Structure 1
Amino acid sequence: QGGVTDDKNEEKSMSALNLGVNTPTVSCIFDYGTRYHLRCYLYQARDLIAMDKDSFSDPYAIVSFLHQSQATVTMKSTLNPTWDQTLIFHEVEIFSDSNITTNNPPNIVVELYDHDTYGADEFMGRCICRPCLEPSPRLAWYPVRRGNRNAGELLAAFELIPREKRTVHRIPGLKV
């Protein structure tokens, strides 16, 4: 059963210690979750926005899925990078009925940045992608947006794979 816990009986909550104010602590408890692996096949991007003075950029991608993120390598001096890279998110737990996840999987956010040697990296744009639960998904072009304008395209595929259930090995004489 899902539930909410209240810490009002504690003398000082962690939120009061950290923020100097009393804010409620809310916890969610889930009965079950399903584990998946996510494979992100990032092949290339095209027509990205030039962010450097030399009319090029040094783009890399950050892929975010639920609470995890990974980055590609940085490609130097190009607006049409070819990463040909696979990022794998292992053991991602999704707290939902597996039928709901199959029909409506969580979105993947891919953000593109221009690497700068001096100063902060510059945001180039983002795209929202949907993972496929079928094996061997096809590469597709995803529009990259920066605010409300086009900022290029990303050629990628995303595969969400249900993790096999582990076999439970019973050890004779061991009580679990």
Structure 2
Amino acid sequence: MTSRWDDLFADLEGQIAAHRRAELEGEVAERVRVERARIGLGDRLAAQLASRVTLRTVDGGRVDGTLRDVGADWVRLGQGRTTLLVPVGAVVTVAGLGPRSRPAEGDPGRRITWVTVLRELSRDRLPVRVCLTTGYVIEGRVDRVMSDHLDLAVGPDPRQPAVTETVPFAAVCWVGARED
């Protein structure tokens, strides 16, 4: 009779242990889901700095390069001696992105916005190429940057009066500049 009782209690203990393991596995899985829900694209991109990635953009094009910086709403890719600044809103897909992530807290570079970067280009008067969501590319210099658009001075000589084209940020796929 003792053996029967021992078997019964052993079976009950096994069931309780299995139930606890299942509960724990469920809790762990839920915590993983909650943690993943907090990870933004910028967090994943920031963890891949110095990696090669391919971005498909809203114009149907693709840009390849080495991931150099990640800001609040933009990424910087290196292509040899050219830098491409891509607003995250123009990115349709990313190839070459690993599963790691790096949260933005404590990283001052991640607070730099698209507008701030464009204002630096305007200050430096560097020649740029701006690819629009239509696929059309405009060459010129960033003349002025407002809250949601920029004025691009189009013309071969920066000392001469130029035609200005106003470009809403929503129409920009990327901005490219040479690193001379």
Structure number with the higher strand fraction is 1
Structure number with the higher helix fraction is 2
* TM score, norm. by length of structure 1: 0.24
* TM score, norm. by length of structure 2: 0.24
User: Which has more radius of gyration?
Assistant: 2
